[in-house]
Structure 1
């Protein structure tokens, strides 16, 4: 059951967002949202119509090329639909709340940096010949022991269970550092820490974080595919907001999944030219994905059912192109589609992965708007993209080191 949300804070954010655009079409959509929400008090329009109205603003913004407003209202729609918490909206779109959060973050970072500097002070005092490797071991030990930290009774005191004392001994002086960190730290060590932080390439760090997030998302998808009991819903959850997996031809995953009363799309993707691409997801565990009949290989009934379903989606999109374009700013005429279904590991009858791939390749050469691929093909392609990205980052890092 969907847990719809709305309230004064969302209403205020939408009013503020209205002032950020001069596009009449976008403002008209925002006014429709505000009319639906009403004034101060009441339930502020909480429910599915509000979610749809917010998505309409996002689509209109995409149509006008305003990605900032589009992203903002996609987040609003996710909150109204129960997928995001209010704190996320406040951190992104409430200046005062963001300022409070940033101040708290700065205090935490300052305190952590101060403790780190003090820890290095102790290390340098007790071991004047300490190296960078010694410092890494020190902080690695602290990181590994954080599960066992607790707040002491004094100001800033830290206590450790006695049974973990042996665990700390392998990290040299860490027990002393944790129990009684000296303050203030020396200016020399503070400058050293500042120099280290100044050398961090924030752009490269952001790329690495994005790479790790993509690797984690792909690993989660792989685990779901390897589970023979995974449903279409479970696979859809793994692929949500992972439009990069489908390749660089798509600029975004659209927030709206329903464009006509009788069609709900699994993953609607937006091409660079503003046209729609539909991804239809089916289960990975399909035993008769490919069958052998009279000595020939052919696709099984589940594939043909999925393709027929997708053909109907595309036909409906063609027939309603103008109304969808006017209402949502998405061009659905001659939209294309990808059906993701099955995995070679589940195919019965002794049919090999190579035979599965060849059968699908033969089938796809006879279709124009719909391509059928397996989860194996999808993940292999995504893994190759990640490998290329990782290799490029390693190359860039090596070049920076040698310059």
Structure 2
């Protein structure tokens, strides 16, 4: 059951965000949010209509290529829909709350460093001949051991409180950027060196590095989910949320709204550069009868045809409702296209090679103009190639000498 949220803080954040745009249509949608929320006091419009109104702002901002504002309202919608805690919004958009979080991180870092010193003191006491390599092995062992900790789901499992869940979520949104610095002679020198390093840092390059890191983490999470034979469609969907780059450079962003007609909820709606819609339909990676060989020749099995038929119905509905969708949401759905992601070579029988699977899909796709069928294997491989290319370009740029 969805736990909807709203309140004075969100109302204030929406009002503040209104000052960040001059686009008339975006302002109209923000005003619609404020009308749903009402004035000071009351319930502030808590419920599904508020979530939808916030998502509409995010989508309109995307159409105007204001990605920062779109992300802000996507987070507002996630909070209103019960997916994010208020602490996360405050960390992003409340300066005082962010300073409190930064202070907490500093104290946690100091605590960790203090514990590290204590561990080294014990090792030096017990092993006076210990080397730097021994110290490295000690901390590596600690780091590897942490990976084996778990909460458990059966008897004796731990039920986390809401407060603990908030902290876990907050840590998930934190990024620590560590730089290699010479060893300082004093605490004061260390402080000065860190300040100088941050002042000299290329903000654009740091942003690119963080983006590449986030993409690597996202791709690895998807790979892990795909390799788990029990992963459901919802699990795979969660790994692909807001990861439109995985599908290629033709897509500007993932749209916030997933439902444009009463009878169709899209898995991943992507926006093309020309403002048109592309639909991604997700199925499980572990699919039986993905490819069959009934009479010597390979052909796609029933699960694929079922998924393609589902995508065809989506596209037909979007075509039929194009004027209304364009007027209400600013998205052009005429002749929209679709990608069906289903199956993986590792789950196909041993009698069918990955090459044969790829050739069967290629044969099928050449006869379809609006719907393409790919496997999670193909999706992962193409995304990994794009990521490797981006990393190579980043390395090349950082290695170039500055112009004289």
Normalising by the smaller structure, the TM-score range is 0.7 to 0.9
Q: 1: CA distance between counterparts of 2:195 and 2:26?
A: 46
In structure 2, relative to structure 1, the CA distance for the partners of 1:30 and 1:195 (3 Å cut) is closer
Give the structure 1 partner of residue 302 of structure 2: 301
Q: How far apart are residue 392 of structure 1 and its match?
A: 2.4
| 1:216 and 2:221 are equivalent in the alignment | no
In structure 2, relative to structure 1, the CA distance for the partners of 1:144 and 1:34 (3 Å cut) is same
> Unmatched 5+ residue regions in structure 2?
118-130, 146-184
Give the structure 2 partner of residue 33 of structure 1: 33
Q: 1: CA distance between counterparts of 2:95 and 2:322?
A: 40
Give the structure 1 partner of residue 79 of structure 2: 79
Counterpart contact for 1:236–1:266, Cα < 8 Å: yes
Counterpart contact for 1:56–1:327, Cα < 8 Å: no
TM-score normalised per structure 2: 0.76
Q: How far apart are residue 238 of structure 1 and its match?
A: 1.2
Give the structure 2 partner of residue 391 of structure 1: 392
> Unmatched 5+ residue regions in structure 1?
120-133, 149-183
Q: How far apart are residue 189 of structure 1 and its match?
A: 6.7
Give the structure 2 partner of residue 271 of structure 1: 272
Q: SS at the partner of 2:22?
A: coil
Q: 2: CA distance between counterparts of 1:273 and 1:385?
A: 22
Q: 2: CA distance between counterparts of 1:294 and 1:46?
A: 58
TM-score normalised per structure 1: 0.76
Number of residue pairs the alignment of both structures matches: 349
In structure 2, relative to structure 1, the CA distance for the partners of 1:145 and 1:34 (3 Å cut) is same
Counterpart contact for 1:343–1:376, Cα < 8 Å: yes
Q: How far apart are residue 139 of structure 1 and its match?
A: 9.2
In structure 2, relative to structure 1, the CA distance for the partners of 1:193 and 1:56 (3 Å cut) is closer
Counterpart contact for 1:276–1:336, Cα < 8 Å: yes
In structure 2, relative to structure 1, the CA distance for the partners of 1:144 and 1:98 (3 Å cut) is same
CA RMSD of superposed structures (Å): 3.4
Counterpart contact for 1:55–1:256, Cα < 8 Å: yes
Q: 1:330-369 alignment to 2 at 5 Å?
A: 330-348=331-349, 350-369=351-370
In structure 2, relative to structure 1, the CA distance for the partners of 1:142 and 1:99 (3 Å cut) is same
Q: 1:184-333 alignment to 2 at 5 Å?
A: 185=186, 202-333=203-334
Counterpart contact for 1:62–1:329, Cα < 8 Å: no
Q: SS at the partner of 1:259?
A: strand
Q: SS at the partner of 2:400?
A: helix
Counterpart contact for 1:243–1:250, Cα < 8 Å: yes
Q: Which has the larger radius of gyration?
A: 1
Q: How far apart are residue 68 of structure 1 and its match?
A: 3.5
Q: How far apart are residue 377 of structure 1 and its match?
A: 0.4
Q: 2: CA distance between counterparts of 1:62 and 1:94?
A: 23
Deviation string 1:83-116 (CA, Å, 9 cap, x unpaired) is 22212222222344345545x379659x95xx89
Give the structure 2 partner of residue 129 of structure 1: none
Counterpart contact for 1:236–1:281, Cα < 8 Å: yes
Q: 1: CA distance between counterparts of 2:59 and 2:192?
A: 49
Give the structure 2 partner of residue 59 of structure 1: 59
Deviation string 1:188-231 (CA, Å, 9 cap, x unpaired) is 67666666666655544443333232222222211211122211
Deviation string 1:32-70 (CA, Å, 9 cap, x unpaired) is 222222222222111111111111122223334433332
In structure 2, relative to structure 1, the CA distance for the partners of 1:266 and 1:146 (3 Å cut) is closer
Counterpart contact for 2:56–2:256, Cα < 8 Å: no
Q: SS at the partner of 2:265?
A: coil
Q: How far apart are residue 263 of structure 1 and its match?
A: 0.5
Give the structure 2 partner of residue 93 of structure 1: 93
Q: 2: CA distance between counterparts of 1:297 and 1:390?
A: 38
Q: 1: CA distance between counterparts of 2:143 and 2:283?
A: 43
Q: 1:10-25 alignment to 2 at 5 Å?
A: 10-25=10-25
Counterpart contact for 1:291–1:349, Cα < 8 Å: no
Deviation string 1:282-306 (CA, Å, 9 cap, x unpaired) is 0111121111122111111111110
